[in-house]
Structure 1
Amino acid sequence: GRSYASLAGYILPLFPPEALHIVASGGQIVSSRGQVVWEKLIPHEKVVFLAKEIEKRGAYFIFGQKDILYASASVVPNLLKHPWGIKADSANTLKDWSTPLISVVSINDGVRNFLGSQKDLNAEEIVTGYKPAYFDITAKGVNKGTAAKIWAEKQGILLKDTLAIGDSVNDIELMRVVGASAAMGHAIDEAKKAAQITIGTSEEDGLAEYLEKLLG
């Protein structure tokens, strides 16, 4: 569910420039070079409101615009140390905070209760086996599954001919709309139940081994 800004400097350059990617937990579809072909934004006023309420409850927010992550000021130094070479800055430098995805870290029950009350948004707590739980917030009705339908239409691809691989709750809707699905070995139980098969963990090079077998 990462923003384009998280992937721009390290992952996406490995793909052809014209390749299309679902990013921001389904809130945006971009080319490898960052050209936006579709997006559903959370409006500026709503993002500002959420950010204030999140920080008031002791948590921190992060969101992307183009190739920069904007965040609570105290989070920026850690983002700049990321091995993927992420660009980051304080959100206070922005005039327009609209974004397809807001991530919330250092969460607590106060944050959970607050986000649960925001019925005009899709707020999912993301639990994985390799980092602390966090929230991804997108516009209402937006997820990787809805984005996959748009992604496929724009390329003339049938969803029944696509494969999805995931490990968390935000991958489940995607797994339900594609033709084939696999859960990583470290995936949460709900993702494993939604997937057709379970493969090895990241530490076991599960994805690489699976793709090698699949592609012969």
Structure 2
Amino acid sequence: MRASTGSETGAAGWATGDGRDPSRRRIIFLDVDGTILEHGAHVAPSTAPAVRAARAAGHLVYLSTGRSASDIHPRVAEIGFDGAVTNSGALVVSGDEVVVDRPLSPEATDRMLTAMRSRGIRYFLQTRDGVYASDDMAELMRDYAAALEARAAAGEEVRPEDSLVGLAERTFPRADDADLSRIDKAVFVSDHEEGLEELRADLGDEFLIVPGSMPLPGGSNGEINERDTTKGSAIELLLEHLGLDAADAVAIGDSWNDIEMFQVCGVAVAMGNAHPELKELADFVTTDVLDDGIANAFQRLGLI
């Protein structure tokens, strides 16, 4: 169990369903991959009604994702939200208002690219407007798509997570065409198991490098942000902007880049399919992403 960052009595009582005050407005932050969306294109039928019911009850519901703002799956976007924390906290939008916009500095981007290229590591670059692929990453995705197609043609089962949310079939603009003054983060794939640790050694404390939540092929994969650019720090800035208390905030997630938002919000909920380490940090664990995980969490918290 993590240490509470909000009103300890209120957060603990709320998390267990005791002493809840339904009249208080809550703000809920939902991760996307593994929380709303199974790695693929599947959303539990109960998720959209739960989100809409919570909003109709007066609560605020925001996305909080490592994805680019332009890369939210249509089945997620159509649910409807009050805003979004995207690019792992580099961009925050509330309604139509941009609250936070903090891309990497050009110097940091150059250092990150130099480290990945020197190690022969493939990568995506994310901006507020798009996702760009290094040439070798695009080649990897094409090869992976062909392998999936061959497996399906041979009658093998292709699991939902194997589709990589359509990444393999997509065509991305080249990383060389990205505006390097507006890069928010990188997602990388290394052929080596030690790739993540190699980048940590190369980049040091200036960057936050976490294992990736997407089942990308390769020896290791992960995400790179500037050290202080996290979902947690973005949520703190948004709460200040909205005049809301962190004790009234709920974080629901499943992966490594959710740790900081767990630390900030008054109540942290891990999905049933979350990493075991994340479950240890949560106030409670709900069911799996496709087993009504969000709806069950909302019900337990008295949001719907």
With normalisation by structure 2, the TM-score equals 0.60
Q: Partner amino acid for 1:2?
A: R
Relative to structure 2, which stretch is displaced further, 119-128 or 180-189? 119-128
Which residue in 2 is equivalent to 1:15? 80
Give matches, 1:105-144, under 5 Å.
105-106=189-190, 108=192, 109-126=194-211, 128=213, 131-132=215-216, 134-144=221-231
Residue 115 of structure 1: CA displacement? 2.7
Aligned-pair CA distance for 1:110: 4.3
Query: Could you tell which deviates more after superposition, 21-30 or 117-126?
Result: 117-126
Whole-Å separation in 2 of the counterparts to 1:69 and 1:127: 16
Are residues 9 and 106 of structure 1, via their aligned partners in 2, closer, same or farther at CA, if it must alter by over 3 Å? farther
Q: 1:208 to 1:149 in 2, by over 3 A?
A: same
2:116 is the alignment partner of 1:36? no
Q: Offset at 1:87?
A: 7.1
Q: Any conservation in 1 of the 2:120–2:190 contact (CA below 8 Å)?
A: yes
Displacement after TM superposition at 1:164 (Å):
0.4
Letter in 1 for 2:295: A
Distance 1:144 1:63 in 2: 18
Contact 2:186 2:224 in 1 (8 A): yes
Counterpart-to-counterpart distance in 2, 1:107 and 1:142: 27
- On the 8 A contact 2:85/2:234 being kept in 1, the answer is yes
Q: Higher relative contact order at CA 8 Å, sep ≥6: structure 1 or structure 2?
A: 2
- Aligned: 1:72 with 2:108: no
The aligned counterpart of 2:57 is none
**Deviation (angstroms), 1:27:** 2.0
Q: Name the structure 2 match of 1:161.
A: 248
Q: Distance in 1 between matches of 2:136 and 2:195?
A: 20
Aligned match for 2:233, one of 146, 149, 154: 146
Shift of 1:146: 1.1
1:54 and 1:60 in contact (8 A); partners too: yes
The alpha carbon displacement at 1:135 in A equals 2.0
Q: Which one of 80, 93, 112 corresponds to residue 177 of structure 2? A: 93
Query: Per the alignment, do residues 210 and 163 of structure 1 end up closer, same or farther by CA in structure 2, a change over 3 Å counting?
Result: same
**1:2–1:95 CA distance, 2 compared to 1 (3 A):** closer
Pair 36,91 (structure 1): closer, same or farther in 2 beyond 3 Å: farther
State, as a whole percentage, how many aligned pairs show the same letter: 24
Q: Counterparts of 2:132 and 2:262 in 1: how far apart (Å)?
A: 30
Structure 1 segments unaligned to the other structure (5+ residues)? none
* Residue in 1 that maps onto 2:148: none
Structure 2 residue matching 1:124: 3-state secondary structure: strand
> CA separation of 1:179/1:2 partners in 2, compared to 1, >3 Å: closer, same or farther?
same
- Other-structure match for 1:4: 69
CA distance in 1, matches of 2:94, 2:137: 27
- Cα deviation, 1:119-154, whole Å, max 9, x if unaligned, reads 3533222255x7255222112222211111101111
Q: Which of 1 and 2 has greater Rg?
A: 2
Which deviates more from structure 2 when the two are superposed, residues 152-161 or residues 66-75?
66-75
- Paired residues, number: 212
Distance 1:126 1:205 in 2: 26
CA offsets per residue over residues 185-209 of structure 1, 9 Å max, x none?
A: 1212221111100111123232233
Q: Which among 99, 121, 141 is matched to residue 59 of structure 1?
A: 121
